[in-house]
Structure 1
Amino acid sequence: MAVRPLFDDDQRRARLARRHRLAPGTAADRAEQVVDDLVAVHATDPATVFLAVAARLAAPGIADTERALYADGTVLRRHGMRKTLFVVPADLAPALYASTTAKAAAAERTRLLRDFAASGRDAAWTAGAQDAVLAALAAALPDSPDGLTGSQLGELVPQLRETIDYGVGTSYQAAQPVSMRLLRLLGMEGTLVRRRPLGGWTSSRHRWVPGPPLPAAPSAAERAAAQAELAGRWLASHGPATEDDLVWWTGWGVREVRAALAACAAVEVELSGGTTGFALPDDLAPVADPAPWAALLPALDPTAMGWKHRDWYLSPEHRPDLVDRSGNLGPTAWWNGRIVGGWAQRPDGEVRLELLTDPGPEARTALAAEAAALRTLLADTRVTPRFRTPLERRLGD
């Protein structure tokens, strides 16, 4: 029996540093390079996109990400893995839609129609509301080429101002705005696209514009091919990793993940502790250890959130401080491939650090410099994560 290649935790941390552009000498010149190497950047919290990219740019800033998102369209906001909003490379968007989004959007439309019907709004009513939204946008675009916010659309489309009763008879019964459900669905499907928000780069008040013509629903073969493409892209960035990691990251079923791994010719490798992992067949050679490095990464950063099994870079004893009840990681402080603490921004703008383990004087000096650089980058902007963790609250309030 052939011996499986061994990747210990040190080798995985070396790959993380180099492939996620955190090691010295690996910083990118353009936002597109960062997003491409990370595969997908969480966009549920608008600040995450900008801070995650800035942490990996040779000249950290916000403007280049705004250019890529809003001027050039070389990176796109799309719903994807786990029904979450991400920023992805434009060339990956078709595979993301076919592999993941189309199925999730179809299920979401089914739920929406069911919930609307329970409130006395049938499919014809929903279709009419959708048509009214598109007509309002078409009429407004000549004078508002950047699109309209949900609130602005609500002023033009009365149906959006209505509410539905959700979860009737349950402990979570609540009134939901039609606008929240319908605009989210149209965004998932690609009928509408988020553009530059009102306000600054941390704002979530995105303007909506009509999207490109919707592709046909993918066939089973097209979905499988797209899943193989996405799995291969992810392994090139995050591998070696376990089957569990890919199931968690994609939100696919186990059978789909196994088929995708086989289709991209992934090979079994051994991880620390004898765990089975997978890597691409041309990616089995070890990489050199990088020079020492420090980083302050934002809440939901794609590196911190890149794997289900995180003990090789996040000590279990630090999870209560850094992870919320839903498993979301808050702002983190890194030294040589390990999370050693966290950070938060206070109302006065100060960036405060808290180390959960002592990484030594070199690390403390480097992390203090990162905090000073982040304070300069943020300038007058104040960042409070949408999903707050105990450490972030402790430092930031």
Structure 2
Amino acid sequence: MGINGAVSIDDGQRRARLGRRLLLAADGRAARVEEVADAVVGLHASDPATVYLSACARLGDPSAAEVERALYDEVSLVKLLSMRRTIFAVTEEFAPYVSAAAARQIAAKERATLLKHLAEFAEGWSEARLAETERAVLAVRGEATTAELGADVPALRETMLMSAGKPYEAKQSVGSRLLRLLASDGHVRRCRPRGSWLSSSYPWAPVAPWPDVPVREAKAEVVRRWLARYGPGTVEDVKWWTGWTLGDVRRALADVGAVEVALDGGAAGLVLPGDEGPVAEPEPWAALLPSLDPAVMGWRGRDWYLRPEDVPALFDRAGNAGPTVWWCGRVVGGWAQRADGEVVWRLFEDAGAEAEAAVAAEARRLALWLGAVRVTPRFRTPLERGLVA
């Protein structure tokens, strides 16, 4: 027992839960990408490659085609600008909760920011004109890129000169900002990209509105799912992962009846009721996970799976994680793909012969399904750059 009689969950148990619940142990891999998305409570999608790499690391039979099936053929996965103002790919069933809990608030802020920028950096724009332009975009049927939509809705082609006179001044099209806003509001979705699955050039299509979910209920559901997969976690972990106010976080934790447990080092953790008991250790496992993978970005407090001295090599200055090598629930190194397709890695410590062999097997598995595809993370880190140099 821990402080004040709370059940203790040590770092070893947390790593066992991570391996099992985030589908990283080899015997727990999924058959379908929807299972993966629900297991990690949403696949990070700021970098198009991350969705594929994160999913395939957890699939028994990895393939880009399986991810494309869900994203574009059946549309059982949808991308939303949501928690932490990050794009997540979530299941269609979970999307209404994510929309109500996070995406709509993000969209409201995006709209206010866009209106401010239009007033400052463009001419002839008002709230009424913006609303009129949105209606015109949604009246266009079928799939179309932002550029193609601009042929039917000329207002999309207008630009804003941002940071005029500064070395980093740039023009932004109204269309690029407006389509992002409509996606956050749940009015349009990203369709199959023009080009490979690594491309960020994709058309848009209108979507039917999701069922309306009360905000408080939605926030509770998001936190319930997070605790089920990432618990135990601290209040600070939940606040960081969601991007919500402390008040919203505490209310949602109370609504799901979160139970306090004691963590190594004396911190107070939280789990769902009935989840205080031990989890069986999985068989030893290795994983090569991509930049921004949910496992490395799942908690704010990371010392129990990532040594602080390794952070500068694996993260960029904005806090984006690069590709990581895992062994039994701990980050032990990083990896990269070279121009010739070779998957290379570096370990920060001697993890033993079993770990070396398991990492090598995962590298072969990754290279096999990637085939001729070459992946460069959008957010590059010192170790990744060093490995491909």
Specify the TM-score bucket, using the shorter chain as the normaliser.
Answer: over 0.9
Residue 308 of structure 2 is matched in structure 1 by 316
Residue 202 of structure 1 is matched in structure 2 by 198
Residue 24 of structure 2 is matched in structure 1 by 22
Alpha-carbon distance between aligned partners in 2 of 1:164 and 1:377, rounded to the nearest angstrom: 42
Residue 371 of structure 2 is matched in structure 1 by 379
* 3-state SS, counterpart of residue 334 of structure 1: strand
Alpha-carbon distance between aligned partners in 2 of 1:174 and 1:215, rounded to the nearest angstrom: 38
Alpha-carbon distance between aligned partners in 1 of 2:43 and 2:89, rounded to the nearest angstrom: 5
Residue 129 of structure 2 is matched in structure 1 by 125
Counterpart selection for 2:149 from 140, 150, 153 = 153
1:164 aligns with 2:160: yes
* 3-state SS, counterpart of residue 240 of structure 1: coil
The one-letter amino acid of 1:114's match is K
The one-letter amino acid of 2:20's match is R
Residue 393 of structure 1 is matched in structure 2 by 385
Alpha-carbon distance between aligned partners in 1 of 2:20 and 2:210, rounded to the nearest angstrom: 37
The one-letter amino acid of 1:268's match is E
* 3-state SS, counterpart of residue 91 of structure 1: coil
Correspondence list, 1:68-87, <5 A: 68-87=70-89
Gap change, CA 1:240 and 1:87, over 3 Å in 2: same
Correspondence list, 1:222-241, <5 A: 222-241=214-233
* 3-state SS, counterpart of residue 244 of structure 1: helix
% of aligned pairs identical?
50
The one-letter amino acid of 2:232's match is P
Alpha-carbon distance between aligned partners in 1 of 2:160 and 2:211, rounded to the nearest angstrom: 30
* 3-state SS, counterpart of residue 26 of structure 2: coil
* 3-state SS, counterpart of residue 80 of structure 2: strand
Counterpart selection for 1:327 from 301, 316, 319 = 319
Residue 262 of structure 1 is matched in structure 2 by 254
Alpha-carbon distance between aligned partners in 1 of 2:382 and 2:152, rounded to the nearest angstrom: 41
Gap change, CA 1:273 and 1:160, over 3 Å in 2: same
The one-letter amino acid of 1:339's match is V
Q: Is 1:191–1:214's contact at 8 Å kept on the other side of the alignment?
A: no
1:103 Cα offset (Å)? 1.2
Q: Is 1:165–1:175's contact at 8 Å kept on the other side of the alignment?
A: yes
Q: CA RMSD in A?
A: 1.7
1:172 Cα offset (Å)? 6.0
Correspondence list, 1:1-397, <5 A: 3-118=5-120, 119-120=122-123, 121-135=125-139, 137-138=140-141, 141=142, 147-167=143-163, 173-213=169-209, 222-397=214-389
Q: Is 2:96–2:210's contact at 8 Å kept on the other side of the alignment?
A: no
1:41 Cα offset (Å)? 0.6
Instruction: Please list the CA deviations of residues 198-249 of structure 1 after superposition, one character each: whole Å capped at 9, or x if unmatched.
Output: 1121111121001213666x7xxx2111111110010000000000000000
* 3-state SS, counterpart of residue 57 of structure 1: coil
Instruction: Please list the CA deviations of residues 323-346 of structure 1 after superposition, one character each: whole Å capped at 9, or x if unmatched.
Output: 111111111000111111111111
* 3-state SS, counterpart of residue 299 of structure 1: coil
Alpha-carbon distance between aligned partners in 1 of 2:253 and 2:292, rounded to the nearest angstrom: 26
1:162 Cα offset (Å)? 1.8
Segments of structure 1 that go 5 or more residues without pairing to the other structure are 142-146
| Mean CA deviation greater in 61-70 or 11-20 | 61-70
TM-score normalised by the chain length of structure 1: 0.93
Q: Is 1:95–1:229's contact at 8 Å kept on the other side of the alignment?
A: yes
Instruction: Please list the CA deviations of residues 146-186 of structure 1 after superposition, one character each: whole Å capped at 9, or x if unmatched.
Output: x1122322344332222113346878654322122111111
1:195 Cα offset (Å)? 1.2
* 3-state SS, counterpart of residue 236 of structure 1: helix
Alpha-carbon distance between aligned partners in 2 of 1:171 and 1:4, rounded to the nearest angstrom: 55
Alpha-carbon distance between aligned partners in 1 of 2:232 and 2:328, rounded to the nearest angstrom: 18
1:14 Cα offset (Å)? 0.2
Alpha-carbon distance between aligned partners in 2 of 1:127 and 1:238, rounded to the nearest angstrom: 40
Instruction: Please list the CA deviations of residues 238-284 of structure 1 after superposition, one character each: whole Å capped at 9, or x if unmatched.
Output: 00000000000000000110010000000111111000110001111
Segments of structure 2 that go 5 or more residues without pairing to the other structure are none
Instruction: Please list the CA deviations of residues 319-373 of structure 1 after superposition, one character each: whole Å capped at 9, or x if unmatched.
Output: 0110111111111000111111111111111111111112111111111111111
Q: Is 2:45–2:88's contact at 8 Å kept on the other side of the alignment?
A: yes
